[in-house]
Structure 1
Amino acid sequence: MKQSGWRGSEDLWLDEAYKMLVESGVESVKVMPLAKALNMSRTSFYWHFEHREALLNALIQRWEKKNTGNLISQTERYAESISEAVLNLFDCWINPDLFDARMDFAIRNWAQQAPDLKKTLEHTDQERINAIRAMFTRFDFSEEQADTRAHTVYYTQIGYISMMVEEPLSRRLKRIPAYIETFTGSYPTESEIARFESRHQSRITKQSG
C-alpha cells in the first residue's frame, strides 16, 4: 500500500537513487523503480525533483561534495611532515565516510556513456591531483617532483577503485609504511603510523572481530 500524505524528503529519494546507482548502474535509476522501492507514489518524486535529470545532477553534486571536497580538505590538513600529510590523505582510502569508493566507481562507469559527465570527471580528477600536488609543494618538493608524485599517489588509488580490489584492512595497513616511502621518499615514523592507526582503530577492530 502506498504511503499517502507523505512525499518523503529529497535526501530520502537521493539515498535510494544512490543505492541503485552503486548496485546496478545509472540505467537503473528511474522514477518508477524508486517510487516502488520507497513505497511512495510517482507524483511524490516530482515534489522534490523537476525530472529524472535533476535527480541525476543531484547525485553528481553529492559525489563532488563528498569525495572531491573531503579529499581536498584532507590534503590541506596540518601535518609536520610529508609522511604525515600523505597519511592524512590516506584517511580517505580507509574511511568511507570521507571518500565513497563505490560511488567513484559508479560515476566512472556512468561517465563512459555520458560525455558531459566525462568532462566533469576529467576536471574533477585534475582538481584532486592539483590538491595533492600542492600538498607536496608545501613540503619543498620541486614542481616536477610534486607533479609526478601527485599523479602516482592518485592513479594508484584510482587503480584500486577501477579494479574493484578487495583486501583485508589489516593487509592494506601493513603496506601503508612502504606506500608512504614509495610516494614520498621517506619512511614514516612509528608515532605517525600510530596516530594514523588510532584514527581507524574501530574499523580495524570490527574487521578482525
Structure 2
Amino acid sequence: MAPEAASGDARTRSGAPARRRRGSEKKSAPAPRAPRLTVDDWIDAAFALLVSEGVSEVKITTLCERLKVTKGSFYWHFADIDELMTAIADKWCDEQNDTLRGLAQVDTVPVDARLQVMAELLLQERTWAVEAAVRDWARTYDKIAVVVRELDQRIFDVVQNSMRELGFDEAEARLRAGFLVYAGIGFVHARDNLPTPTPDEVRAMFALLTAR
C-alpha cells in the first residue's frame, strides 16, 4: 500500500474530521409561506364570527387568533375595525340585492312550488342563524336595517301574491301572509328558547294557512 494512502487512512481512522466535498449535501428547502389572506378572507371570517358569536364579538384580536395571523396582516387591508364592518355590510347588501332580484322572478314559478321553496328555506338552520345575527346588527347599523326592511317587504309581497293566486280575497291574503312572515321571524328569534319546529310541522303550518 502506498505510504501516502496509509497515512491518509490512519488520519481518518484516528477520528480526524474528513473534508466534505463542496456541494455534496443539499440544503433543506425553506418551508413554503402560507398564502397571504385576501380582503374577502377577512370579510368571510368576520361574518362567520358575527353569525356565531354576535356583532359585539367581531374584534381584531379574535379574528387574528382564528386565522392564525398577526395584527399586521389585518392592517395590511383595513385601517380599523370600522372599515372592516363597512366592508362586511357592503358585501352582505350586494348579496341581498341579488336575492331581491331573484325574488322579483319568483312570481313566474307555480304557486305551490313557490311556497314549497320558501318552506324549505325556513327549515335551514343556517338561515335562522344568519337572520338572527343580521337582525341584531340592523338595530345599530342603518345600512343593514334598510336592506332588512326591503327584504321583509318583498317576502311579504311574494307570500301575499301567492295567497291571492290560491283564491283568497285581499284582506284574507294579507292576513295569511302576515301569519307566515311573522311566524318565520319568530322562529329566528325564539329558536334558542322554544322547541324547534320539525320539517313536518313547518310544512303543516304552510298547509294550514294555505288551505281553503
TM-score, L = length of structure 2: 0.65
Q: Does 1:107 align with 2:102?
A: no
Query: 2:159 — aligned with what?
Result: 132
Specify which of 27, 34, 44 is matched with residue 15 of structure 1.
44
Structure 2 Cα separation of the partners of residues 7 and 163 of structure 1: 40
Structure 2 Cα separation of the partners of residues 120 and 23 of structure 1: 21
Structure 1 Cα separation of the partners of residues 114 and 92 of structure 2: 23
Change (3 A) 1:141 1:66: farther
Alpha-carbon RMSD: 3.4
Change (3 A) 1:144 1:47: farther
Specify which of 175, 182, 193 is matched with residue 201 of structure 2.
175
TM-score, L = length of structure 1: 0.66
**How many pairs does the alignment contain?**
179
Structure 2 Cα separation of the partners of residues 68 and 128 of structure 1: 13
Tell me if the contact between 1:83 and 1:184 (Cα under 8 Å) persists in the aligned partners.
no
Residue type matched to 1:38 in 2? L
Q: If you compute each CA radius of gyration, which structure gives the higher value, 1 or 2?
A: 2
Q: Does 1:147 align with 2:187?
A: no
Query: 2:28 — aligned with what?
Result: none
Structure 2 Cα separation of the partners of residues 25 and 161 of structure 1: 14
Structure 1 Cα separation of the partners of residues 173 and 34 of structure 2: 56
Give 1:152 deviation, angstroms.
Answer: 1.5
Query: 1:198 — aligned with what?
Result: none
Change (3 A) 1:44 1:143: farther
The more displaced of 176-185 and 56-65 is 56-65
What percentage of aligned pairs have identical amino acids? 22
Structure 2 Cα separation of the partners of residues 147 and 47 of structure 1: 51
Gaps of 5+ in 2: 1-31
Residue type matched to 2:139 in 1? Q
Query: 1:199 — aligned with what?
Result: none
Give 1:19 deviation, angstroms.
Answer: 2.7
CA distances 1:87-142 after superposition (whole Å, capped 9, x unpaired) = 1111212245xx62111101222233445544443333223222333343455544
